[in-house]
Amino acid sequence: MSQPLQDNICESQLFERLYKKHAKNLHDFLYYKFGEHLNPQDTVQEAFIKLWQNCSKIAPSKAKSFLFTTANNLMLNAFAHQKVVLKYNKQPQKHSTNETPEFVLQEKEYHQKLQKAITNLTEAQRIAFLLNRVEGKRFKEIAELLDISTKAVEKRIYGALKKLRGEIEGI
């Protein structure tokens, strides 16, 4: 059941008054309780956003309680998340692979050759090739995107592949 207009937080003037009245106190409360490292100003803004999203459900007399409870819960969630991140960072990470160092080096060299070869393509070939191979778009989609025919897309991609094969040995 909706409330009368003068008692509705959704009215911008009332919401603005609530913001001016409670924003500083809410910030101070969060700052004193959690410190600066969790950015209390952002949490104040988030709490007011949640108040605005639920403005039709909350009576003006309950707004302050809603804001402080919401902001406190947001900070507690951020704090809990930070604890999980710290706990995860303390765990030793497995950095070993099954590849030999020689394979890893060859892979890096190949990647560098490929990047250089791609930059040596004409702009038209490079765009068509990357749209097809990296983004997975079909020839028809590329043709519509570039406003050219499907045959033109095919020619560009096949030309790019031919150039890449010529520049990179072992493909």
**Model confidence over 57-89: pLDDT tens digits?**
999 999 999 999 999 999 999 888 888 888 888
Q: pLDDT at position 21, please?
A: 93
Domain annotation for the chain: domains and CATH numbers? 5-90 (no CATH), 101-167 (1.10.10.10)
Helices 139-146, 150-167: crossing angle, 10 deg rounding: 110
Q: Round to whole Å and give the CA distance between 14 and 3.
A: 13
Is the pLDDT reported for residue 5 higher than 60?
no
Percent of the chain predicted with pLDDT > 90: 39
Mean pLDDT of 40-51: 92
Is the pLDDT reported for residue 53 higher than 60?
yes
> What confidence category does residue 20 fall into, taking pLDDT thresholds of 50, 70 and 90?
very high
Q: pLDDT at position 6, please?
A: 52
Helices 40-53, 63-90: crossing angle, 10 deg rounding: 130
Chain segment 86-133, per-residue pLDDT in tens: 888 877 766 666 788 888 888 888 888 888 888 888 889 989 998 998
| Cβ(115)–Cβ(161) below 8 Å | no
Is the pLDDT reported for residue 56 higher than 80?
yes
Q: Round to whole Å and give the CA distance between 101 and 46.
A: 49
